Structures are given as structure tokens and as C-alpha cells.
A = this chain, B = another copy of it.
Amino acid sequence: MITKYTHGKPVPTEAVTAVLPSQSPDSFPFACEWENGKFRFTFPMADGDIVYGLGEAPRGINKRGWVYESYCSDDPFHTETKSSLYAAHNFILLSGSRTFGVFVDFPARVRWDIGYTKADTAVITIDGADFDIYVLTDGAPRDIIRAFRRAIGKSYLPPLWAFGYQQSRWSYPDAATVDSVIEGHNAAGIPLDCVYLDIDYMERYKDFTVNADAFPDFAAYVKEKRAQGIHLIPIIDAGVKKEDGYSVYEEGRANGYFCKKEDGSDFEAGVWPGMCRFPDFLNPEVRRWFGEKYKTLTDCGIDGFWNDMNEPALFYSAEGIEKALDEAASLKGENLDLSRFFHLKDVFMGLSNAQEDYARIYHNIGGTLVNHQRVHNLYGASMTKAAGEYFQRAFGEGKILMFSRASYIGAHRSAGIWFGDNHSWWSHILLNLKMLPAANMCGFLYCGADLGGFNENATRDLVLRFLALGVFTPLMRNHAALGTRDQEGYRFENPADFRDVVQVRYRLVPYLYDTFVKARENDDLIFRPLSLDYPDDKIARECETQLMLGEECMIAPVYEQNVSGRTVYLPEDMTFVKLSGERVTKQPLAKGLHYIDVALNEVPLFIKKGKSIPLCRPAMRTGELDLSSVETLCS
């Protein structure tokens, strides 16, 4: 059962598609109070209760013991003590002594103190008076998740080739580099479906332009790559370069499509192209206009995109720079004491993504100027809806690959997400794993992390172990940042190991796509914490290094360096399968703890008793997969 409680006049978020009557918060089932205009509600947690949810968020599958804040943030340091990442996914589920779900439909800040201040108490604080809260009760955790997913509508469906292996880097700036990447994979026998174009493919970072020096005939080049079975996936950023004569800028300015300042002039801030203006995606007319812009690229044969920088990231504003430079000037010739030194450093450090800048932004919502801070978490989601709505109109479902960095529940109907700018850290293999069921709960089925890690240098073994998890994630993309070590499989010693791992993905595409489609149809999870399937098994209940996949499998990636395997817990008898290239080994294992050997070129998988999965012959492209080659891998 879902009950909707409404207070004030919520900004429409379009997160929930189900039409439900509003109850007054007077009948709200949790202890609640108002303080300084904020609404706070509280519930107790018993020992052993698990709190799931919050989608793309830091820390564990069980969110207890930390404080989270829903505020889409461009923050590339995904350490344990962060509270906000790129997304705002306001759904949680308590399971244990009681079972219920809560969705806070509110596009500004929400603070989730899940036993951080007091271990047995959850305190959720909504930074405003206009909100909807949905409370879900009755049934097992999975039933409640399905009920929530039904209420928010069917998840985005990508094309099948989006389940192929994808290679990215900031940047492959020109056709010659893209060709060398494809050739590198081909020569090493590593299957590949997509190559990414990060910001440098554009003409000075202008959305919907292509650098003609780098790609002299882009449409012909895209066509040539498609003939090789390769999809090029360009990036689109939220900010539109302020440049006279640039059509997107000129149209946006002429039509009043950009976000405003309080005085009605256009808000500006510096991002990749330098000074930019920001389409007011919360306005449906602007969404329609911006969405149609993707046609520039789809007309060239492009059929996949990633939307970036849409929290929105703001590197600096003229106002911020001016203030910082004034501060610097005032200190010239002074003998700085410590507090003034640290203050000066903080001033420059704080120029990017400054709260002062966000507070300067206004949106036109139904003719009213609304401050950005009231709707911050809708910005990236609305950009992605702009694209998704256009693709739906122009191409129908399942044709265009589309995923976004920033998101809010509701955008799951338009696109997938990736988990943003992670690091080449071993710990981020597990962070990736832990985000998967949480993202699924919030509707985001097509998702994944930057395999191998985006920031800083990777090692060969890290990339292989990361890929061996990525074999199972709908988005399987290897991506790395400017200035870091080359991270494409063929760049390392013995690329055959990379071929072996990626070939496993292609062998599993029929299974993974089917599992995806079923989860979408049934409003269900692809990935589940073991606790959902084995709620009475204490070890399974607390296990956060393994996941259930579909109805048939369990996965348990290796996540440490310098090991030849890992310890795994089987909550029931299963068959331990090792896949490597075309090789398959099987070993029945009894319920309990086991140490399993897993070489760097092997992918471990566990099949439940009496279950089986399809396995096809590998191919170099998803389009070349021979479905007649499918055999059944039984437990």
C-alpha cells in the first residue's frame, strides 16, 4: 500500500506517475516536527534492521551509521565520509523488525541521518515546507520495492548493443585516435561496441558542434564506424558557451531559454567552454528546444549520448572570481597570519560549485521565478528528460543509448546513469557493487561505474578485476581521466586476459539483456542484496561483497590486489562457475564459506541449484552474436 502525504504546494517533479490522493501530514505515521521552516520526521531502528536505498550514494548497501544529503554534487572524491554524490534518490526501505518504504519527493536538500547521531534512530530533515512523502507498507521488502517502482513508471530501455563493451577516455579527440582505439581492441581480440567522445570532439566545447579539424566529415565517419559495428557516443554538457553567433547560444538568449538571475538577466558561470549560460530545463518549452538539438548529431548517425556536468557543475562565476581577486589584492604586502592565509586559500578553493552561485540562479516554472536552491536536484534530471523526450518522439523506445551524471527519480524513465567520476581505487570495486541494488530500487536499471576507475592511475590487475564485476553491469564502460595512465585493455601486458574477460560479457549478453528486460517489465531489481533472498541467514544478511543477479545467479567479484581468489559465502548449495574466454569450469559447492581461486582472466559466477542460464559464443560485436550458438549452462 502506498500513501501519499502532501504539505504545502510541492513543485511538480514528475517522479511519480501513479495518481494517488493526497493525505494531510496530520495523519503522517512517523514522529515529526517543524524547526526553522524544515520538516523533520523520525523513526526508531531495532538492532539488526537494515535500511536500504538512496540509490547512487556513498557507503554501504545498509545505509545505517551515516548521514547523507540529497544534493546533486559534482564531487570526484567518493570517500567514505562524503554525504552527497551526483544524484538525489530519495527512496529508503527499512527491513527487519518492521518493513516499510519512504519516498521523499522534494527537489531541494533532504538530510538523512540514518543512525549517525543516534544509532537506533533515523532522522530525515526536509529543507522546506512544500513536499510529498510516500509511505509504502505491506509485504516483503521486494514487494515494497516493486510497488514503489510501479508507482514511478517503467525504467528506460536501452538498445541491445548498449550491453556491449564500451571504451572511453577523456579524451579520444579525433578520428585517428578513435581509429587507433578500435584497432587496438580488434588486434587484441577484445570485443567492443562503443567508443566515447569526451569533451574534446566539440568545437571549443560547444554542445552540438563537432571540431571539423578532428572530424572533417563527421557523418561519413560515424557511418564508417557503424559499418565496423562501432557506435560513437558523444558527450553533451549542460552549459551552453556564451559566444556571439553560436546558434544554440543565440537561440537560447533570443527566446529567454536560459536560467536567470534575480534581476531577470541571464545567469552565467564558467565551465569547460569558459563563460556559459544554462538552459532552464525545468521549463517544458526549453526541454523541447534543447531536446531537438540532439537531432544535429542523430542526423549524423549518432545513436548514443551521455549527459554530463548537469548537477549543474559550476567552475566559477564572474562574481566569485572578482571577490577572490579583491581579497587577494587586499592582502598584497601584508604579513599574513595563519587564519588569513587559510581564509585566502579557502576563497580560491571554494570558487567551484559555490553555494553563492547556485543561489544566484532562477528558473521559470509556470511563469514564476523560482530560486534554483528550491529545485536543485531536478536540473540534471530535466536535462536528461529533454533528451529522452525527444528520442521517444523521434525514434521510439529502445533505440537511443542515453545516460546522465546527475539524476532524480523520474529520470529513470528517460535514461540510465553512470556513477560519476570515481577513482582507480580497489575500494571502488565494492562501492560500484553496493550502488547497483540501490540504484535499481530507485528505478535506474541501466547503470554502471567507470570500470578501472576514472581518476588517478590504474594498474593492470585493478582494471581486470573491475571489469570482472563490470561483466554483469548493464553499462560496461572502461573510462579514465585526462593525464592518467592508459587504461584500455590492449595497452597492458598480455591483452589476452582482457579479451578473456570481455568475451565473457558477450557470452552473457543474451542472459543479461533478458534479465534486464524482465526486471523492467516486472518493476523488479536486476541486482539484489543477499539479504532480500535469505532474510533469515545472518551471514547473507550482512554480506556486502556479493549480490544476487536475476533469479538464477550470485556474483562475488575479487576486490583486493595481490590475491589469487577470495572468500565467498554460499547461502545455499550452488554451482561455482568460472568463465574465461570460451572456457567454462564448474564446481558444485555446499552452503557455507569457501575460498575460491579466481585468476585475473577469469570471471566467477554462482548458479543456484536447479537453475540455468543461456551462454552464447563470443563475438567481436553484439551485432555479430549468433543466437543459434546459445547453449544452456546448468547448475
Q: Which residues of A contact B (CB under 8 A)?
A: 48, 50, 59-60, 62, 64-66, 79-81, 116, 118-119, 270-275, 315-316, 321, 324-325, 328-329, 331-332, 335-338, 341-342, 344-345, 348-349, 351-352, 423-427, 456-457, 459-462, 493, 538-539, 542, 544, 560-564, 567, 569, 593-595
Contacts and interface: CB of A to CB of B under 8 A. Distances in A.
Nearest to A347: B348
Given A60-B562, A336-B316, A538-B564, A461 B65 contact: yes
Nearest to A272: B338
Contacts of A539: 595
Contacts of A271: 338
15 contacts: A60-B561, A60-B562, A62-B562, A65-B462, A66-B459, A79-B423, A116-B457, A270-B336, A270-B341, A273-B338, A315-B338, A315-B342, A325-B331, A328-B328, A544-B560
Nearest to A48: B564
Contacts of A335: 274-275
B325 A81 contact: no
B341 A321 contact: yes
A461 B120 CA distance: 12
A338 B539 CA distance: 51
A341 B316 contact: yes
A5 to B, nearest CB: 29
A126 B80 CA distance: 35
A594 B593 contact: yes
B337 A274 contact: yes
Leading 4 A-B pairs by shortest Cβ distance: A328-B328, A348-B348, A593-B593, A81-B456
A426 B538 CA distance: 21
A64 B427 CA distance: 17
A561 B59 contact: yes
Contacts of A273: 338
A426 B332 CA distance: 43
A460 B66 CA distance: 10
A338 B315 CA distance: 9
Given A79-B423, A270-B338, A316-B341, 12 more contacts: A64-B562, A65-B562, A80-B423, A80-B426, A81-B425, A81-B457, A270-B341, A348-B349, A349-B349, A542-B563, A567-B593, A569-B595
Contact of A593 (B116, B341, B427, B595): B595
A429 to B, nearest CB: 11
A48 to B, nearest CB: 8
Interface centre among A328, A456, A457 (most CB of B within 10 A): A328
A80 B274 CA distance: 33
Nearest to A560: B544
A461 B60 CA distance: 14
A427 B80 contact: yes
A567 B564 contact: no
A456 to B, nearest CB: 4
A60 B559 CA distance: 13
A311 to B, nearest CB: 18
A76 to B, nearest CB: 12
Contacts of A459: 65-66, 116, 119
Nearest to A324: B328
Nearest to A336: B321
Contacts of A457: 81, 116
A324 B64 CA distance: 44
Nearest to A461: B65
A400 to B, nearest CB: 30
Contacts of A79: 79, 423, 425
Contact of A341 (B315, B332, B560, B562): B315
Contacts of A59: 561
Contacts of A460: 119
A517 to B, nearest CB: 33
A462 B60 CA distance: 14
A424 B81 contact: yes
A462 B59 CA distance: 13
A246 to B, nearest CB: 16
Contacts of A456: 81
Nearest to A332: B325
Contacts of A321: 336, 341
Contacts of A542: 562-564
Nearest to A329: B329
Contacts of A272: 338
A562 B59 CA distance: 11
Nearest to A331: B325
A118 B424 contact: no
A611 to B, nearest CB: 25
Contacts of A569: 567, 595
A10 to B, nearest CB: 32
A403 to B, nearest CB: 25
Given A341-B315, A542-B563, A562-B542, A461 B119 contact: yes
A562 to B, nearest CB: 4
Nearest to A342: B315
Contacts of A595: 539, 569, 593
A544 B566 CA distance: 12
A565 to B, nearest CB: 8
Contacts of A567: 567, 569, 593
A594 B119 CA distance: 28
A444 to B, nearest CB: 23
A457 to B, nearest CB: 7
